[in-house]
A and B are shown apart, each in its own frame.
Chain A
């Protein structure tokens, strides 16, 4: 059974304090790994897609990386507006459905 585990469950950072969020997965035939940002009471907003080990994607203060067993979302010099829940999802080879992790709640204090 496909599984996605995110850690930590919650993370508190001071503004400017860089850190990383982890997403470990077990899936037969990874078709894609996706990162989303979700604000309270809203739908998830797409951030990145990663397809193969070694791939990296960047957007502003965020950088996503992928290995054969896990993905990291690195946050460099975060700002309070980066506070949100970050969700990781994997798509396996048989179909289009996405399997989500429980998410990491990030709080950045000024």
Chain B
């Protein structure tokens, strides 16, 4: 089955810890994205990558970091510099050419304890 897999589904972070969220896709898509979703708000773009070894900051990149060493994988690290990390995180991928839909994973809910 082709798709996007995010893990874990639930993640708990202590104050001051860095945590990494996994995102893997087998759709052969070049572009991958990380979004954050808070209650009552739309999806906000954290980082995106259009090709391996290249990525760009989105609208709310502060306190986050990413890597894109493989086409299939785009992990997101939530660092201790992110002051309000509790949220629902969504990974997506799309064909590199514009005008094509993005497909989403099932999300990771991160909670600070």
List chain A residues, Cβ under 8 A from B50: 95-96
Contact assessment for B98 and A96 in the assembled complex, using a CB-CB cutoff below 8 Å: yes
Contact assessment for B48 and A97 in the assembled complex, using a CB-CB cutoff below 8 Å: yes
List chain B residues, Cβ under 8 A from A91: 98-99
Contact assessment for B33 and A98 in the assembled complex, using a CB-CB cutoff below 8 Å: yes
Q: Which of A31, A49, A96, A102 contacts B42 (CB 8 A)?
A: A102
**Stretch in contact with the other chain, from A11-19, A39-47, A61-69, A74-82:** A39-47
Contact flags A31-62 to B (C-beta < 8 A → 1, else 0): 11010100001111110010100000000000
Q: What is the number of contacts between chain A and chain B, taking CB atoms within 8 Å?
A: 69
Q: Which of B58, B100, B106 contacts A32 (CB 8 A)?
A: B100
Contact flags A84-102 to B (C-beta < 8 A → 1, else 0): 0001010101011111111
For the complex, would chain B's binding face be called helix, strand, loop or mixed by DSSP majority? strand
Q: Which of B59-106 contact A (CB under 8 A)?
A: 88, 90, 92, 94, 96, 98-106
B27 at the interface (CB under 8 A from A): no
Nearest A residue to B45 via CB reads A97
For the complex, would chain A's binding face be called helix, strand, loop or mixed by DSSP majority? strand
A31 to B43, CA, bound (A): 19
B110 at the interface (CB under 8 A from A): no
List chain A residues, Cβ under 8 A from B31: 96
Nearest A residue to B30 via CB reads A96
A-B contact pairs, 11 of them (CB 8 A): A6-B42, A32-B100, A43-B92, A45-B104, A95-B98, A96-B48, A97-B33, A98-B43, A98-B92, A98-B102, A99-B45
Residues of A within 8 A of B (CB): 4, 6, 31-32, 34, 36, 41-46, 49, 51, 87, 89, 91, 93, 95-103
